[in-house]
Structure 1
């Protein structure tokens, strides 16, 4: 591995409560956050240990997670964070996942891990240790900055 990739300098982790993290794997491309995120590039999708039980009653969520297992406390995929903007109203932010009056993290190039990797996340974004990055690269060897 080249020195430019060492230490996770090119990637960050984002912890997302379940079932929202799994919804990202199923085509949710807007993650709602209370504050702006300056980071742009790859993020590990870390499913937090906390379950948002209210979200399970949403038809949108229920459809997205059908036939999927929720893996709390694990990295379940990666995505490229390409933008973060404050909600601009339903005319501009047309995603059904976009909540009002918060910042929207816009995700692309989402890739699911075949085997979720146990990890401890943090809020808001966190720098993964090299051992975790190596485990992700073992499953996604084409992933590079």
Structure 2
């Protein structure tokens, strides 16, 4: 299972709110479409965003799992798929998001990365109802 590092407050908004689009400047590799992934909160927040709330100030931890259901490009010519969507970027569509009851500390990486076995097992043990 792969993980994706996302800066706060966006990782928390995915885990605990309604953010179901991840904005990226690169297209989702086809092999990841339909994949279940871990959502990892980066070590540092987005410097342009304001971070408020107990779920949004967690850093360097896996905070949720989600399924990537698709990807499309927003050319900025129309209102796109979500309040969270930004123009002129790829929108990775997320579904079946489940927040972990206890964040799992982990060092992230750019792009998709593979957590070590101990970290993955700590996330998997938290919610046996999630289809991995």
SS across alignment from 2:42: strand
2:40 maps to what in 1? 46
Structure 2 CA distance for partners of 1:143 and 1:68, relative to 1, 3 Å: closer
2:56 and 2:11 map into 1 onto residues whose CA distance is 11
1:5 maps to what in 2? none
The structure with the largest helix share of the pair is 1
For residue 69 of structure 1, report the CA deviation from its aligned partner: 4.5
2:4 maps to what in 1? 14
Structure 2 CA distance for partners of 1:69 and 1:102, relative to 1, 3 Å: closer
CA RMSD across the alignment: 1.8
For residue 92 of structure 1, report the CA deviation from its aligned partner: 6.0
Does residue 79 (structure 1) correspond to residue 66 (structure 2)? The answer is yes
Q: How many residues align?
A: 128
- Identify unmatched segments of 5+ residues in structure 2: none
Q: Residue 14 of structure 2 is aligned with which of 8, 15, 24?
A: 24
Structure 2 CA distance for partners of 1:76 and 1:30, relative to 1, 3 Å: same
